[in-house]
Amino acid sequence: MPTTAPHIDRAPDDLVASLHVLTVALHERDTYTHGHCDRVGRLAGALARRLGLSRTRRHALVLAARFHDIGKIGIPDDVLLHPHRLDPDRLAIMRTHSARGARVFVATGREDAHDVARIIRHHHEAVDGSGYPDGLIGEAIPLEARMLAVVDSYDAMTSDRPYRPALGVDQTLARLRADAARRLDPDLVDAFIGVLHTSPG
């Protein structure tokens, strides 16, 4: 019995390693996504530390940040790699990626799989209810998902995209503030700006 227990204990982490392989495969299709997820993971961890989240919640958030776009593995190339802003039909398909990603993470069987998957599922919700997939409003959106939304938005705006160049940091922060209370949690926007101002470089 003792000889089999370690294998069982490692199995969920092995599955997370398999998800990492999927993210590498996704990177081969979409070079933006892989680097984006790494950056968002680091920034989400810094925001979690600033807000004093427990180690368990911080770990779940960082995992969700690393894999928040894993559902894009199931998005067709003509949507994922479209060189222009998406039309309504393509946008509807792209918006399935968060729910897809949540289902993928649940399949890891980790003890925290449902907590991480919930963050992944809801990272595109908006505090005014205009987000997806469930149209949650305000604090009905899990805190960690609201945090991820802020960090995800920042990195997306400061990265080159096929349909627009990267924005400067000042312009990005102005847009984050403009989105506060409509799409993003204003308290979390302020906390994240504090992270940026205290981070080296």
CB–CB of 148/189 below 8 Å?
no
Average the pLDDT over each of 3-12, 60-69, 178-187 and give the range with the smallest value: 3-12
CB–CB of 33/76 below 8 Å?
no
Question: pTM score > 0.85 for this model?
Answer: yes
Name the CATH superfamily housing domain 5-198: Hypothetical protein af1432 (1.10.3210.10)
- Say which DSSP state 166 is in: P
Dihedral of alpha carbons 51, 53, 58, 60, sign: negative
CA 62 → CA 106, 115, 168, 187, distances in Å? 16, 12, 25, 20
Dihedral pair phi/psi, residue 87, rounded to 5°: -75, 170
Q: List, for residues 117-163, the tens digit of each pLDDT value.
A: 999 999 999 999 999 999 999 999 999 999 999 999 999 999 887 77
Helices (H) and strands (E) in the chain, counts: 10, 0
